[in-house]
Structure 1
Amino acid sequence: MTTLASTIGDSRTMLRRNLKHAVRYPVLTLMVAGIPIVLLLLFVYVFGGTLGAGLGGVSGGRAEYADFLTPGMLVLAIASAAQGTAITVAMDMNEGIIARFRTMSIARASVLTGHVVGAVVQTMIGLAFVVAVALLIGFRPDAGALEWLAVAGVLVLVSFALSWLSVAMGLAAKSVEGASNLPMPLVLLPFLGSGFVPTESMPAGLRWFAEYQPFTPMIDTLRGLLTGSAIGSSAVQAVAWCAAIALAGYLWARSSYDRRPAR
């Protein structure tokens, strides 16, 4: 068997292992959707009337704000999933299973790849729940089949990038508790971008940060695809940010995996 075929086969085995863990402990998958759904309901029903009216649309109110808010909640859900991924990796590192894998004749890359692909699958399931709830409370996208396919592609790309970063954080953390704290800034970034309000409404300094941080073009791309608004250069920026984050996460994860002894 060639090295590539061996790596792919071992990665499938590691993926099955992680998916079985996800089925056995579904709380991590539910956490992906839980926080964004709670925030979605809170912002639409408590603040939606006021914030929606400020968007300057035809109807205003909660329905219009649900259309604006949902893309940001999808990115927030992906960021929230990073915490569960980092915790899972840290548990593997601290419970000795990685040490056992290192003594076996398996491709070393497959251990990390299994975590990443498993995290993407869990995240996509969680996002389906977020979209379902958004539709129930008034989200009415204008996207056709091609736009929905593009939305799915963007979500997978963002999830893939943040999964590599969260795997690296889990490997770098010295404890499970530390792994749960490292991804927290990722959860805050959608709040400091275009996820909840237009960046034009922010003070100058915060507006500059919001416009140049990575999550804003991701959210704007999803919003444009779902609602038919202008995307501009956001799609190119989103893909570039995802590629940079994925590469940085991969290099960090590989370095940490090679250096750090498993317990």
Structure 2
Amino acid sequence: MSFTDAAQVRSAQASVPAPREQSAAARGGQPGAARDAVQDAAAGLAEVARATEALYGVVAELDQLDLRGPSLLPGWSRGHVVTHLARNADALVNLLTWAKTGVEHPMYLSRADRDADIEEGSGRLPQLLRADLDAACQRFAAYARDLPTGAWEAEVDHPRLGLFRAHRVPWLRLREVWVHLVDLDRGVGFADLPPELVEGFLEDAAAHYADQPGTPEVRIEVEFPDGRQRDWALGPAGSAGSAGEGSPLVSGAAADVLGWLTGRHSGERLTGAAPALPSWL
């Protein structure tokens, strides 16, 4: 059975890894907050399952030469990207463990350990890279499926994003999978993302840069495939959802703006002089 066939069988058996429900009493008498958290987590996990299948389909076609070839990330081969996606799944299990137990479980012991693990794993044979990726994805899905409802409301700490609620962990995984699927440079671009996700990813990116030190003041006008338009402002004078008058204007299609905001290109696909941005996450 091929890597893709095996992944599809597991997906069909497990379906969407929805979190377990609990009674209102077990949720500590806060059914509304817990329900919102578990619903947000379940929605994110459903999207992660869909994105993971797309990832499996691309990785299944990569041979040893492909995996040694460069990705869109400077200094990283496709093998580095695949290994990073496996280790990221395990790192997010650490955050879910933190949420479940209340005991601190950071994503990585250190940035140096993270980088060493990716470097060490990147040169393995294709079948080993695929097996590692599949096992890590399955661990994340299983742990998320079995997480008690109340844990989705727990607060955990991301090394770069800071404190946030655990029900956002699936959405972090979703962003990692889609962005790095683009980085594999095998025919998937930001324009291929599900349209309903692109706007949410833009929201996150704009919020990240709204008050990020070193971010230049710039207004962004975005056009979505359905013809809608939205604007954001980045930099000290701006905030996500509002545009600062007098700031330089950059405009373009949603996929192209997302590529620029995530550092996948320098803005050459946009209208206006797109400034250099601080490094992405």
Q: TM-score, normalising length from structure 2?
A: 0.28
Larger fraction in helix? 1
More strand by share: 2
Q: Which has the higher contact order (CA 8 A, sep 6+)?
A: 1
